[in-house]
């Protein structure tokens, strides 16, 4: 069965810190029938620079990313809500009234976050599996508020046991470079999130953005917690 | 700064202003599920701790008002000159309450104001009542002191039933010019309240502690 | 004691204190009340669109609306004054009070009066100024400043207030909120009735009728604009709508967004002073329209922030505000609104870091009754700060370096390998517990996973071909 041809944009964090999430994403897409290409020159969408106001550096990274993704026409699937927002929404702004304006429009329309691609576009019957887990799902802010991502994860997690996480739509406190620019504030927000996670009775935290997850996992580890942290892709696809 | 210079600066700022576009102003009032206005009004008034009485006939109003007043053990009152039912001031005087003069003289203003310290009851009419929020609308002017619904411990508002409207927006749509016809239009939604101390609700800080609304049929 | 000059410095001093905890639970409470209240609105999104359209329309035609408002207010017997800046506004107010021989002044809540630092100025002139909004009264007694736009003493306990009243008002100590309210009511009643002048803010002006609308729950807003002979209203120039029915829309959204009420207790619409036949009311009404930097905001990228109706919902929704409290913003206006308006009114020195006090989570925009695009403007201000070279050197250099590396595939590959190897030197397990340099901000409270030995890119090349 020949499914859609897609391009995988794994994101810099997944590439460098959590390659297993990339592998799981790849497997989930292939299981759903996709032909997956991985443009090997990819690295970072430019969001870290954009969010601190360093527009020229952001443009540099975005231009490179546009070239990398413009080689073929397939949907660009991204296992991150915030990187998808960057490409799907902010690239247009960055290149408005420049000679990359058309290219930016073209590529940005093709960018889809993983769960919205699987559930909304493919109407996949795939479901997340986590045996003997009680899952607390963290809805990452950019994906939630700018892409409307929530029912997609809920659909995928239908067959799992969900723990009730109070404040599951509230920010985890990562905020990109905010985490090291204003560490005391980032930590205080994180502490509140971790307290709620611990109070939820969950043994696993799942989310759609490695940025939030690295922050949450790092905090849990520091507390000596045994709660596991996984990207939703790892519950659908095989990471090995 | 003079008016022209001020407004010229504002006008100039508007030229480079980067305000986003917005949808054009809609003319429709919001669609609301149908409701019995009086039932809704009673319920919403209760939420804000105001008490709704009646409907009583015009003749029954003086007795209703003196009943409320004696229930609060008040010894003095203020009243608007033109209430929607006759006989209220004399009914209150008949139960031993003194009427406080409400015309503030331009000289000896403060002396007169201090006489308002301990007024027990204030009786007013109302332009309208708003069912959605449990509010009454008061238009002040000749014979209608603002203080009557402000300094006393107890405010009694008399409202004719046919003046009951659904929401502020509905009433405003029907009465666009009333604001210019009176120097002071006030919407009152329950007794005075504050949550400033540990977010604990307390009634009667500065304004009346009790609000009674008598509907007149 | 001087405050630290950075948001972070002030926040660090406040995080984890009782004050910050009180702000957090208070803000969350307001947020819940708001949520319940907007749930019952059948067409909330429509109402937000209408409120937004009304406010943006007013900003687009601001000079015309202000002129019309002034004509109408003057026709009704009121006076309208135009204040270019804070000093101008203070002078105008002081002159009115002087000419009318007003010594005892009562005030209701007015952010503009705090912005122009009016109280200190009037007190220096020997006037007796009393804040009458209960929370502001308490803050004034304590020599403190408000920590939240809607709940000024969110940060104080009943015991704090009990001790304060016993000390300053000479009453026996009590920490029963009911008793404390009764004490305040009795004390302030005398003050209201003896006052010569009342100074208020303006929630919204109505151009067509020349009216100003004041909203309070306590009744002090009505008392100070009725009992004294003179009423002075301080109005931020952007606080205006065209028609009375527009004001009605704004009033309905304001109360629900702020405290979850359907309407505030007292909505006070004033169109001029006492007319000849009126039994009471002030003899003189003066509206002081204040610019103080608003025209500069209007002229620029962040003009939309002037649509704000001061409900405080964005503060309540903001995780940064809830964590650090209002005082961390170092200025009269706090929270997401303050982060944009403070550098707008007063410039980037020293306020450039306020737009960075945010994770850009977007919770603010989600609750704003007039849909102000707060995160978008925070980003714009960050761009401005970056272009002015205000970012710390390590950040600017680090990002520039990162950009150069990531656009070059072979450099990116090398950098990942290098990072993985280097991390092996500072950590034996899978996690790093301590990082040097700016990154120590991370490891002060969190572990960091070691960069993978084999990146995803490496794995793909090894297993799936090029």
Q: Note the pLDDT tens digit of each residue in C271-320.
A: 999 999 999 999 999 999 999 999 999 999 999 999 999 999 999 999 99
Q: Do C383 and A189 touch (CB under 8 A)?
A: no
* Chain B contact partners (≥3 CB pairs within 8 A): C
Predicted pLDDT of residue C336: 98
Cα(B151)–Cα(B112) distance, integer angstroms: 13
Domain ranges of chain C: 41-292, 393-464
Which residues in chain B touch residue C251, judged by CB atoms under 8 angstroms apart?
Answer: 168
The pLDDT assigned to B30 comes to: 66
Q: What is the pLDDT of residue C438?
A: 84
Residues of C in contact with B150 (CB under 8 A): 219, 222-223, 226
Q: Per mean pLDDT, which range of B143-147, C101-105, C410-414, C446-450 is the poorest?
A: C446-450
Predicted confidence at residue B27, as pLDDT, reads: 58
| A178–C8 CB contact, under 8 Å | no
Q: Collect contacts of C453-458 with beta carbons under 8 A, ≥24 apart.
A: C453/C420, C454/A19, C455/A15, C455/A16, C455/A19, C455/C413, C455/C416, C456/A10, C456/A14, C456/A15, C456/A19, C456/A22, C456/A23, C457/A15, C457/A40, C457/C412, C457/C413, C457/C416, C458/A19, C458/C413, C458/C416
Contact of C435 with chain A, judged by CB distance below 8 Å, is answered with no
Instruction: Evaluate if pTM is beyond 0.90.
Output: yes
pLDDT at residue A240 is higher than 90:
no
Residue from C17, C436, C315 nearest A180 by CA: C436
Output DSSP code: residue B166. Answer: S
- What pLDDT score was predicted for residue B25? 67
C 251-310 residues with CB below 8 A of B?
A: 251-252, 259, 261-275, 277-281, 283, 289, 291, 295-296, 298-301, 303-304
Q: Same domain, yes or no, for A115 and A9?
A: yes
| Same domain (yes/no): A140, A232 | yes
pLDDT at A186 over 90: yes
Q: Let me know whether A112 and A148 are in one domain.
A: no
pLDDT for the residue numbered C2: 65
> For the segment A8-18, what is each residue's pLDDT rounded down to a tens digit?
999 999 999 99
* Per-residue pLDDT, B184: 96
Note whether A185 contacts C: Cβ–Cβ < 8 A.
yes
Q: Quote the CATH superfamily of domain C41-292.
A: NagB/RpiA/CoA transferase-like (3.40.50.10420)
Q: Give the number of other CB atoms < 10 A from CB of residue C109.
A: 26
Q: List all residues of chain C from 336 to 395 with a beta carbon under 8 Å from chain A.
A: 356-363, 365-366, 379, 381-387, 391-392, 395
The residue of A24, A25, A43 whose CB has the most chain C CBs within 10 angstroms, and thus the best one to mutate to test that interface, is: A43
* Chain C interface mutation, best of B5, B10, B26, B124, highest count of C Cβ atoms under 10 Å: B10
Q: Which class does domain B34-216 fall in?
A: alpha beta
Which residue among C366, C392, C431 places its CB closest to the CB of A221?
C431
Of residues A54, A115, A45, the one with CA closest to residue A86: A45
Residues of C in contact with A12 (CB under 8 A): 406
Is A13 among the domain residues?
A: yes
Q: In whole angstroms, give the CA distance from residue A234 to residue B32.
A: 47
Range of the domain at A62: 5-121
Residues A117 and A160 in one domain: no
Domain boundary among A87, A121, A155: A121
Q: How many domains does chain A have?
A: 2
Q: Is residue A128 part of a domain?
A: no
- CA distances (Å), origin A230, targets A225, B94, C458: 14, 79, 22
ipTM of the complex: 0.96
pLDDT higher than 90, residue C333? yes
């Amino acid at each position: 069965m020949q499914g859609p041809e897609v391009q995988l944009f794994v994101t810099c964090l997944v590439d460098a810190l959590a390659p297993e999430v990339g592998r799981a994403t790849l497997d989930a897409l292939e299981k759903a029938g996709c032909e997956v290409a991985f443009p090997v020159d990819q690295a970072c969408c430019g969001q870290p620079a954009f969010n601190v106001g360093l527009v020229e550096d952001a443009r540099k990274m975005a231009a490179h990313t546009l070239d990398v993704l413009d080689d073929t026409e397939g949907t660009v699937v991204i296992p991150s809500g915030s990187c998808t927002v960057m490409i799907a929404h902010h690239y247009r702004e960055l290149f408005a009234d420049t000679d990359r304006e058309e290219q930016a429009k073209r590529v940005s329309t093709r960018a889809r976050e993983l769960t919205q691609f699987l559930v909304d576009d493919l109407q996949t019957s795939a479901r997340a599996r986590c045996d003997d887990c009680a899952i607390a799902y963290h809805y990452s802010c950019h994906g939630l508020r700018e892409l409307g991502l929530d029912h997609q994860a809920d659909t995928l997690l239908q067959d799992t046991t969900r723990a009730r996480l109070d404040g599951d739509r509230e920010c985890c406190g990562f905020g990109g470079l905010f985490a090291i620019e204003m560490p005391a504030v980032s930590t205080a927000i994180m502490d509140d999130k971790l307290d709620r996670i611990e109070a939820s009775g969950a043994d696993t935290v799942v989310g759609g953005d490695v940025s939030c997850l690295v922050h949450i996992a790092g905090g849990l580890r520091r507390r000596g917690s045994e709660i596991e942290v996984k990207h939703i892709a790892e519950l659908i696809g095989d990471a090995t | 700064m003079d008016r022209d210079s001020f407004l010229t600066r504002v006008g100039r700022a508007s030229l480079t202003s980067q305000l986003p576009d917005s949808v054009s102003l809609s003319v429709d009032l919001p669609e609301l599920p149908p409701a019995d206005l009086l039932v809704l009004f009673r319920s919403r008034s209760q939420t804000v701790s105001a008490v709704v009485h009646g409907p009583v006939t015009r003749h029954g109003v003086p007795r209703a008002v003196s009943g409320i007043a004696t229930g609060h053990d008040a010894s003095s009152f203020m009243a608007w000159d033109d209430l929607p039912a006759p006989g209220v001031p004399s009914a209150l005087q008949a139960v031993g309450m003194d009427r406080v003069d409400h015309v503030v003289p331009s000289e000896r203003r403060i002396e007169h104001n201090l006489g308002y310290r301990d007024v027990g009851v204030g009786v007013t009419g109302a332009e309208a009542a708003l069912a959605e929020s449990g509010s009454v609308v008061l238009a002040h002017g000749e014979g209608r002191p603002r203080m009557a619904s402000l300094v006393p411990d107890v405010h009694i508002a008399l409202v004719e039933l046919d003046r009951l409207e659904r929401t502020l927006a509905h009433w405003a749509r029907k009465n666009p010019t009333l604001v210019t016809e009176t120097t002071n239009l006030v919407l009152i939604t329950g007794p005075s309240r504050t949550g400033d101390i540990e977010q604990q609700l307390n009634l009667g800080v500065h304004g009346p502690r009790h609000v009674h609304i008598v509907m007149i049929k | 004691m001087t405050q630290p000059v950075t948001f972070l410095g002030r926040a660090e001093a406040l995080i984890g204190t009782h004050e910050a905890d009180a702000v957090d639970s208070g803000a969350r409470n307001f947020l819940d009340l708001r949520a319940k209240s907007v749930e019952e609105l059948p067409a909330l999104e429509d109402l937000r669109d209408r409120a937004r359209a009304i406010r943006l329309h007013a900003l687009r035609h601001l000079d015309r609306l202000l002129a019309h408002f002034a004509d109408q207010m003057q026709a009704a017997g009121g006076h309208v004054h135009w204040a270019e800046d804070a000093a101008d506004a203070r002078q105008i107010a002081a002159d009115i009070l002087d000419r009318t021989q007003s010594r005892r002044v009562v005030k209701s809540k007015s952010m503009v009066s705090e912005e122009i630092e009016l109280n200190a100025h009037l007190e220096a002139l020997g006037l007796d100024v009393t804040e009458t909004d209960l929370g502001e009264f308490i803050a004034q007694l304590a020599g403190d400043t408000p920590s939240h736009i809607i709940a000024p003493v969110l940060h104080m306990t009943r015991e704090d207030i009990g001790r304060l009243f016993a000390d300053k008002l000479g009453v026996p100590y009590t920490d029963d909120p009911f008793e404390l309210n009764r004490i305040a009511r009795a004390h302030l009643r005398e003050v209201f009735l003896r006052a010569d002048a009342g100074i208020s803010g303006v929630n919204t002006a109505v151009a067509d009728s020349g009216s100003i609308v004041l909203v309070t729950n306590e009744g002090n807003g009505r008392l100070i604009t009725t009992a004294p002979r003179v009423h002075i209203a301080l109005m931020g120039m952007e606080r205006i709508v065209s028609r009375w029915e527009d004001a009605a829309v704004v009033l309905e959204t304001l109360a629900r967004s702020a405290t979850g009420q359907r309407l505030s207790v007292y909505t006070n619409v004033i169109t001029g002073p006492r007319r000849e036949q009126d039994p009471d009311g002030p003899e003189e009404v003066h509206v002081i329209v204040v610019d103080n930097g608003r025209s500069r905001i209007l002229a620029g990228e962040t003009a939309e922030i002037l649509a704000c109706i001061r409900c405080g919902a964005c503060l309540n929704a903001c995780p940064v505000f809830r964590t650090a409290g209002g005082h961390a913003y170092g200025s009269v206006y706090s929270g997401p609104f303050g982060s944009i308006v403070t550098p707008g009114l007063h410039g980037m020195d020293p306020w450039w870091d306020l737009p960075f006090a945010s994770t850009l989570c977007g919770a603010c925009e989600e609750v704003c009754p007039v849909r102000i695009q707060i995160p978008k403007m925070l980003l714009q201000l960050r761009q401005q700060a970056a272009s002015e070279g205000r970012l710390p050197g390590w950040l600017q250099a680090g990002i520039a370096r990162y950009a150069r590396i990531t656009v070059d595939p072979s450099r990116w590959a090398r950098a990942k390998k290098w990072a993985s190897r280097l991390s092996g030197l500072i950590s034996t397990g899978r996690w790093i517990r301590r990082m040097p340099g700016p990154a120590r901000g991370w490891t002060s409270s969190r572990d960091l996973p070691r960069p993978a030995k084999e990146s995803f890119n490496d794995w793909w090349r090894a297993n799936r071909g090029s």
